[in-house]
């Protein structure tokens, strides 16, 4: 029997599913809720006292970090390198420049003002960040400000799934666009996951057959706002500092790791579709499905395995 | 006498200078030469090129006509099937 829990955290909906009796799973669901709330207080850029905000304030100086923040920053740097810089969590200042300077709920209530004339884009030097594991310290170069929103959701989902794994052999934690799947539903060869239509959130575009691992979706149709007359979205192209002009509306990636799935979902969405095949070949076993504006699904021949074929 | 001493000193200084120069030149000529600390390329004999695996090209996973997903979701231009109930676990962009 599959039991479900759903709650709001990290500016998104967190969905939890686990196989087992409600009685046995209840404490597991409670632990997940508490862990997610704690992680939000640590990793949110919208909370002034969060550890991430303090790290950003300390740019240019060594900062003593918790093992969690240290690990997440280290993984972010590794994926930044692996995606040739297309995954870049250091675009916080550029996000503010295009109007995303408060939570999405606040932004919808109070639209961003007309942009000031753009200055020449100076890309932050994320790759120069130093992580000292022995002393547990991070040195952000001056001018580098991190926004770990997306990758933190994947990281949190992975740890929450591990915790819930003490109560069941089969569970899923989905945090916004990032999902981690452990085990398999009883008697099933895979998990069935609805792929939301990026053009209309009330519709399902396809059903995916997903094996244990991580699934992440990035979309240019979520988190949209207006800055003056300009339509904006939150997937920034680090090469221009502006919202990416993508041929695809969304990209869904399956990999073994949650942070890898998140990084490559963003990188493939930003990359030219011509580059997508070679970029995705950098991670063994990676599969992706992209949705174009006409609703057609694109991917590598291997990706077809993920599409559910009705009997 | 003074003139002889002067000539002797000149010859002696010139001879010892030449000898010192010769010894220094010989020592440097046989000393180890500086070499690069890192070689940017492996030795030609140990390096063999191997072809890269082919990069698969992108493919459209479903077509506009009867497709593998249209029957279950009614996506694209077709109306959703009345019987279709999508799995509650959903992946959505963030």
> Among all residues of chain A, which has the CA nearest to that of B65?
A296
Q: Write down the pLDDT at residue A264.
A: 97
Of the candidate ranges A177-181, B41-45, B56-60, the one whose mean pLDDT is the lowest: B41-45
In chain A, what percentage of residues exceed pLDDT 90? Answer: 72
Nearest to A222 among B60, B64, B94 (CB): B94
Q: Is the predicted pLDDT of residue A78 greater than 70, yes or no?
A: yes
- The number of angstroms, rounded, from the C-alpha of A23 to the middle of its chain's C-alpha atoms is 31
Cα–Cα distance, A93 to A123 (Å, whole number): 10
CA A156 → CA A14, A170, B30, B36, distances in Å?
11, 18, 65, 47
Is residue A63 a contact partner of residue A46, using CB atoms and an 8 Å limit? no
Q: Which of A110, A154, A169, A153 is nearest to A259 (CA)?
A: A154
Q: Which of A120, A17, A206, A216 is nearest to B74 (CA)?
A: A206
Residues 6+ apart with CB under 8 A from A190: A184, A209, A210, A211
Cβ within 8 Å, pair A196-B59: no
**Is the model more confident about B48 or about A276?**
A276
The model carries a pTM of 0.79
A25-43 mean pLDDT: 97
CA A269 → CA A236, A252, A291, distances in Å?
10, 9, 10
Is residue A167 a contact partner of residue A27, using CB atoms and an 8 Å limit? yes
Q: Write down the pLDDT at residue A309.
A: 63
The chain-wide mean pLDDT, for chain B, equals 64
Question: In chain A, which residues have their Cβ closer than 8 Å to the Cβ of B69?
Answer: 205-207, 297, 307-308
Residues 6+ apart with CB under 8 A from A129: A73, A77, A138, A139, A140, A141, A144
A271-280 mean pLDDT: 88
A215-237 mean pLDDT: 89
Q: What are the backbone dihedrals phi and psi of residue A211, each rounded to the nearest 5 degrees, phi first?
A: -90, 170
A145-164 mean pLDDT: 96
B52 close to A (CB below 8 A): no
**Is the model more confident about A248 or about B29?**
A248
Cβ within 8 Å, pair B88-A17: yes
Distance from CA of B26 to the nearest CA of A (A): 48
> Among all residues of chain B, which has the CA nearest to that of A201?
B92
CATH top-level class of A2-306: alpha beta
A225-241 mean pLDDT: 88
Q: What are the backbone dihedrals phi and psi of residue A20, each rounded to the nearest 5 degrees, phi first?
A: 145, 180
Nearest to B58 among A277, A307, A308 (CB): A277
Residue A165 tokens read as: 């794994």
Residue A195 tokens read as: 């792929």
pLDDT tens digits for A283-309? 999 999 999 998 889 998 888 888 876
Distance from CA of A132 to the nearest CA of B (A): 26
pLDDT tens digits for A5-25? 999 999 899 999 999 999 999
B57 close to A (CB below 8 A): yes
Question: In chain B, which residues have their Cβ closer than 8 Å to the Cβ of A217?
Answer: 91-94
Q: Which of A221, A67, A59, A216 is nearest to A149 (CA)?
A: A216
B59 close to A (CB below 8 A): yes
> Among all residues of chain B, which has the CA nearest to that of A253?
B91
pLDDT tens digits for B46-85? 444 555 555 566 778 865 433 333 222 323 323 345 566 7
Distance from CA of B49 to the nearest CA of A (A): 20
End-to-end CA distance of chain B: 105
B68 close to A (CB below 8 A): yes
Q: Is A271 helix (H, G, I), strand (E, B) or coil?
A: coil
A80-87 mean pLDDT: 96
Question: How are beta strands B90-91 and A191-197 bridged, if at all?
Answer: parallel
> Among all residues of chain A, which has the CA nearest to that of B94?
A177
DSSP 8-state class, residue A129: -
Q: Is the predicted pLDDT of residue A194 greater than 80, yes or no?
A: yes
Cβ within 8 Å, pair A204-B59: no
A191-217 mean pLDDT: 93
> Among all residues of chain A, which has the CA nearest to that of B89?
A193
């Amino acid at each position: 029997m599959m039991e479900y829990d759903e709650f709001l955290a990290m500016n998104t909906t967190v969905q939890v599913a686990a196989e087992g009796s409600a009685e046995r799973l209840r404490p597991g669901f409670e632990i997940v809720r508490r862990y997610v709330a704690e992680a939000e207080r640590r990793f949110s850029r919208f909370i002034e006292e969060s550890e991430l905000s303090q790290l950003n304030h300390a740019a240019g100086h060594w900062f003593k970090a918790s093992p969690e923040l240290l690990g997440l920053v280290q993984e972010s740097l590794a994926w930044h390198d692996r995606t040739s810089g297309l995954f870049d969590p250091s675009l916080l200042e550029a996000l503010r420049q295009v109007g995303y300077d408060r939570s999405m709920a606040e932004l919808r209530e109070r639209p961003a003002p007309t942009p000031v004339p753009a200055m020449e884009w100076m890309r932050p030097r994320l790759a120069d960040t130093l992580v000292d594991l022995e002393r547990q310290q991070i040195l952000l170069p001056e001018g580098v400000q991190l926004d770990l929103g997306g990758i933190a959701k994947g990281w949190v989902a992975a740890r929450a799934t591990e915790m819930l794994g003490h109560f069941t052999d089969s569970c899923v934690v989905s945090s916004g666009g990032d999902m981690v799947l452990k085990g398999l539903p009883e008697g099933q060869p895979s998990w069935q996951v609805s792929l939301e239509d990026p053009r209309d959130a009330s519709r399902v575009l396809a059903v995916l057959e997903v094996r244990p691992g991580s699934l992440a979706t990035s979309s240019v149709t979520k988190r949209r706002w207006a800055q003056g007359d300009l339509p904006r979205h939150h997937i920034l192209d680090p090469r221009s500092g502006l919202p990416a002009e993508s041929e695809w509306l969304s990209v869904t990636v399956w990999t073994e790791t949650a942070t890898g799935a998140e990084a490559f979902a963003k990188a493939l969405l930003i990359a030219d579709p011509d580059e997508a095949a070679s970029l995705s070949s950098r991670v063994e076993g990676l599969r992706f499905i992209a949705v174009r504006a006409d609703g057609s699904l694109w991917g590598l021949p291997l990706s077809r395995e993920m599409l559910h074929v009705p009997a | 006498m003074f003139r002889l001493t002067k000539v002797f000193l000149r010859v002696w200084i010139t001879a010892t200078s030449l000898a010192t120069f010769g010894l220094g030149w010989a020592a440097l000529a046989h000393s180890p030469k500086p070499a690069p600390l890192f070689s940017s390329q492996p030795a030609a004999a140990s390096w063999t090129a191997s072809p890269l695996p082919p990069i698969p090209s992108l493919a459209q996973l479903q077509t506009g006509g009867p497709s593998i997903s249209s029957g279950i979701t009614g996506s694209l231009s077709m109306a959703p099937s009345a019987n279709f109930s999508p799995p509650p676990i959903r992946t959505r962009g963030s």
